[in-house]
Every structure is written in structure tokens, then in C-alpha cells.
Amino acid sequence: MENRYSVHPEQVKRFTTEELRSHFLMESLFTENELTMFYSHEDRVVVGGAVPVKADIKLDAGDFLKTEFFLERREIGIINVGKPGVVKVGDEEYVLQTKDFLYIGMGHRDVSFSNLNGETAKFYFVSAGAHQQYPTQKAAISELTPAHLGDDAASNVRDLYKVIHNDGIKSCQLMMGITVLEKNNNWNTMPAHVHDRRMEAYLYLDLNEDAKVFHFMGEPDETRHLVVGNEQAVLSPAWSIHSGAGTSNYSFVWAMAGENYTFTDMDLVPMNGLK
């Protein structure tokens, strides 16, 4: 578990590129046979990845959380971004195809990840604090109906899948979904917004090795950027915009946690307010 402390926006104005990347970018989430986790003090979320190849990987934070087991006081949202794999929750097994989601509520002691038929599954997850237990529930991407957004003139035609949210899979405070940009489109979340009542994390996917996303962050009138590669994630504090433009089309998994559970709780930033 790597610890990431919160930083004040006034500090970020003076950050070098290296400092920005060390605080906000999660470059290596998927290592074979390992559980990789980042603990962010932005709303106490845990962002991580698991790639089981030789053996199952147990969801276990050691003594970092100071609880008996990972989900003692937490909930978790999981998406498989690799080949088909299995998440085991107690005695129940859930097969996740590529881009399928699974929500697991508070209180489940035994959770593990495994591959299926020797394929390389890659599980990405975001966990937040919880105050009550909601049912474990799977959402197959093939059974979801996305919101179709954007237009060709703005280069942002995309499908937005809301999965864990108030009108979908119920949770305490975690919201999670995926946005898929169509071919020849490269902009996401522009015009930008902030939501001062919750943080957000982006995992960028479906990029070729030589393709990049320029992720824009910072206060609206003091923006910065991170150059992000495939299967890398960015932490976005509540005071920061979160928007990206890619050298090709891509997908991104978004997850939010914080004070407000309303998906539309956001403060839009007019284009002429960005600097």
C-alpha cells in the first residue's frame, strides 16, 4: 500500500512535473501476481489493481487499515479490464468478462481474485469508507444501456455507463462507471467541472503503447497537466478539474467518493474561466 497525502491547491501551483506525477499519478497498477494499492487521503479512498496469474490474490491490506479485514468498514467497486476472470466473495464466485463490474458491500471478510482458463484478468478497484452493508451485485457491460453524448464537431462522441450510483447499484458513497470514446474522438469532460464535495479517480484504458492522454487538472484558473499512458490512473482532489485529450480515442473508468452521493452535483466551469 502506497500512502498519498492530500495537498493544498496553493502548493500545487509551485509543483514541478515530477512532483505532480508523484502526488497524483498512479503509473503501475497492474503487476502480474501482485496486489497493488494506493491509499489516498482524499476522502480516504483506496485505488488498486490485481493481476492473478499463478495463484489467486486475496484482497488484503495487511495492518495498514488497522482493521481485521479489508472490507470491515469499507465497500469496493471492481471492474475487470483484462481477459475474463473471477472474483470470489465468501463462497460465491462472480465471473467478470472484460469491462464487467462488481460491487461488494461492507462486512465481507474473504474476497479474492483469480484468472479463468489461464487468461490474464486485470482487476481495477476503488474502495471507500462505508456505514452500512449493501448487497453484492454484478453488472455486465453487455447488459447496460449507456448515455450517448457529444458530437463530432467537438471531438467528444462517447458512451457513458453509470454503474454504481443512486439509480443503479446502491452503495454508501462510492460512485463508479466507464466512459468509452468513439473512434476519431479524443476529448472528455470538457467544458470542465469541479465537485467540491467529493474526489474522483480516472483510470485510462484502451490506448496503444505509443498513445497518450493529456490529463488536465488543477484549479480552473491555474491548470496543470499530466501525460498519462494506458492503464494508468489519476487522483483528482475536490478542488481540481479533471479532463483529458488523447492522441487517439480511449476509455476511462471514473470513480467518486465523498460528501455528496448525487451524480449531478458538479460546478461547471465556463471555457473562458479556464487558464
How remote is the C-alpha of 144 from its chain's centroid? Answer: 18
Q: C-alpha distances in angstroms, 102 versus 125, 140, 196? A: 9, 9, 27
- Does 19 count as an annotated binding residue? no
- Does 200 count as an annotated binding residue? yes
Q: C-alpha distances in angstroms, 4 versus 21, 53, 97, 184? A: 11, 28, 31, 35
Q: Where are the alpha helices (DSSP H) in the chain?
A: 9-12, 17-24
Question: What is d(CA 123, CA 91) in angstroms, rounded to the nearest whole number?
Answer: 19
- Does 131 count as an annotated binding residue? no
Give the alpha-carbon dihedral of 232, 128, 124, 1, to 10 degrees: 70
> Residue 168 half-sphere exposure, CB side, CA atoms within 13 Å?
25
How remote is the C-alpha of 183 from its chain's centroid? Answer: 22
Tell me the three cell numbers of residue 240: 481540481
Residue 198 contacts residue 259 (beta carbons within 8 Å) = yes
- Does 165 count as an annotated binding residue? no
b/e per residue 26-46 (b: at least 16 CB within 10 A): beebbeeeebbbbbbebbebb
Binding-site annotation, residues for Zn(2+): 193, 195, 200, 242
Binding-site annotation, residues: 193, 195, 200, 242
